[in-house]
Structure 1
């Protein structure tokens, strides 16, 4: 047998034990060009290359790696991590770890995209509502006690910083079946929803001054029913015997909706507490003494965690220092104000770690919610 015939026979043996690049592409879901790219990148190097034609051949054992590579490519895993996962085979723990990390990136990216889309929609809504209020009138009739409760739930969070006038009021959104109030001073946020008796007119969004809200709250208990009117002449609140009018604030209120907690969301640590017991535990003579500087003044801090038995516990400085990731720390006075705004009875606290806001809300009613920004150790 000549040398050429020997080489041909050896080539046939290689081909019978391996898959061509085309077969590998069809089996794995990768394109031929993708296989060439991953060869050049050193991710999936062919088991053999024809020395005369340069044709690539892949071993049967490489098909599993090719299928994994195709899947990792489809979910957008970075090249360096694809390489790490493929090279670690047959150990699949590396691929699982990388996929878990990548999933968190995708979730965070989706959350960022949703926040940006929400912000854009808010800008569009604000522009649309500016036009609406200059040409139409919307009347809202509501139970006075419900209106008082909604105002109490948010007005404590109205900003007072003259450098940020957009936070010096309460954001009001009126739709066909609900009125939502929101306020924030950057360090806490409060949202409340009111189910009105009637709404006559188009949806409207407006920012009303904090003083207007305080004035309405001082009068609304005098009557069983109150009316809010949003129109070209401003915003009007009235009932028999009193009337308060204001011009809306011409500022864009920040989009707060992406920050709102979602009931039942995976990974949330929620605990039910008695409002009166929590207030007693936070009293200066009972709560651990933890202090922090904020805006040029010293403030007491409440450091909270959920025990193994599902009970809220307050920690002192030493415990917080020893395990900072276990606790959520917030301004104690802000927490007391949020508890008072929510009313008595049972409350739900969302404690999602040291860098997420602490949420205070009612157990069976998500219409009212307060968020307190965390204080890092």
Structure 2
């Protein structure tokens, strides 16, 4: 019976390819309880799913694509059909407003013929990714590679990463079709940013390595960016080396942005089962879903706001290990965005809730 059960399970990579979600996005939905793996290997931590979960994964991707909140998605997928219809009908105004965007995406999928050379991704999504990830790149040339964005491609995703050693931001995009061969190039963030207005005027763009760096192509138009030869920091080792998560918080992005816009230079965050309390010029309580140990830590409001503003979707997940350790800010829609934010100081012992 055990061997029969194993044969029925598929890996997270297989589910990612079948659903159009990235593996990181699937982990996000698993951690927040929306798409829990059927089995997790106790030794390796590998996640396995049943094939029947693919339909739920596709529905989650579609609903997140129209900015439905996680709470509403849970109700749509777990409630009765009548309740689901009423919830979706209430979202019609938003659907109508975004109808043109949805039509463009559908046209891209319908005409996706042949992979060609390089990896094809939605151009507007790439423009947003450059803006989001590029904020973590260094602004001086002390170490040129730190002023760059690492672009990595394989058959399942295009990943953009930047770090100035104090911040780190990485995002993956699902390709419009199989990305083909693996490659990686580091390009100066200041060279990519001017391409965003052009990317916003086209539907899809193909990225491929060139002799001197990278080429971005749409039809007969091609833009070249020179690469940086220095090796990029091993950001995966940084992510893999993070201490275990003690506390996890899910909070509405818009409410947190509004609070941070009015905050002073330093914000002190108290996180416990009752939600999130932020103390700065004034003390404000935000509704949040918190699991794990209570924690108190502080940030420079501009640093935290930058990570929150650049995030994706209506909901953010914060993974916290300790008041003096990097905080991982995660979000997901069509792709995913992960940002590391360093607290500015450790609250005193008497302030630290245990």
**Do the structures match in fold with TM over 0.5?**
yes
Q: SS of the counterpart of 1:198?
A: coil
User: Alignment length, in residue pairs?
Assistant: 221
CA distance in 1, matches of 2:119, 2:195: 14
- Give the superposition deviation at 1:223: 0.8
| Structure 2 alignment gaps of length 5 or more | 1-115, 284-293, 347-354
2:252 aligned residue (260, 270, 274) = 274
Q: SS of the counterpart of 2:329?
A: strand
* Greater Rg by CA: 1
With the length of structure 1 as denominator, give the TM-score of the two structures. 0.53
| Structure 1 alignment gaps of length 5 or more | 1-136, 290-299, 320-324
Equivalent residue, structure 1, for 2:189: 210
- Give the superposition deviation at 1:340: 1.5
| 1:268 to 1:145, Cα distance in 2 relative to 1, 3 A | farther
CA distance in 2, matches of 1:363, 1:313: 24
What pairs with 1:154-193 in structure 2 (closer than 5 Å)?
154-193=133-172
Preserved contact between residue 223 and residue 240 of structure 1 (Cα < 8 Å): no
CA distance in 1, matches of 2:117, 2:220: 21
CA distance in 1, matches of 2:335, 2:238: 14
What pairs with 1:194-343 in structure 2 (closer than 5 Å)?
194-199=173-178, 201-240=180-219, 242-260=221-239, 267-284=245-262, 287=263, 289=264, 300-309=265-274, 311-316=275-280, 326-343=295-312
CA distance in 2, matches of 1:306, 1:194: 31
Equivalent residue, structure 1, for 2:315: 346
Q: SS of the counterpart of 1:251?
A: coil
- Give the superposition deviation at 1:146: 2.8
Equivalent residue, structure 1, for 2:46: none
Identify, as 1 or 2, the structure richer in helix: 1
| 1:364 to 1:196, Cα distance in 2 relative to 1, 3 A | closer
- Give the superposition deviation at 1:315: 3.0
1:218-241 superposed Cα distances (whole Å, 9 cap, x missing partner): 211111111112122431113247
Preserved contact between residue 186 and residue 227 of structure 2 (Cα < 8 Å): yes
Preserved contact between residue 348 and residue 363 of structure 1 (Cα < 8 Å): no
| 1:262 to 1:146, Cα distance in 2 relative to 1, 3 A | farther
CA distance in 2, matches of 1:241, 1:280: 43
Please say which of residues 194-203 and 212-221 is displaced more in the overlay. Answer: 194-203
| 1:139 to 1:180, Cα distance in 2 relative to 1, 3 A | same
| 1:138 to 1:355, Cα distance in 2 relative to 1, 3 A | farther
CA distance in 2, matches of 1:238, 1:366: 21
Preserved contact between residue 212 and residue 244 of structure 1 (Cα < 8 Å): no
The CA RMSD over aligned residues, in Å, is 3.0
CA distance in 1, matches of 2:203, 2:133: 21
CA distance in 2, matches of 1:150, 1:175: 17
Equivalent residue, structure 2, for 1:55: none
- Give the superposition deviation at 1:338: 1.3
What pairs with 1:86-105 in structure 2 (closer than 5 Å)?
none
- Give the superposition deviation at 1:308: 3.3
Q: Does 1:355 align with 2:324?
A: yes
Equivalent residue, structure 2, for 1:87: none
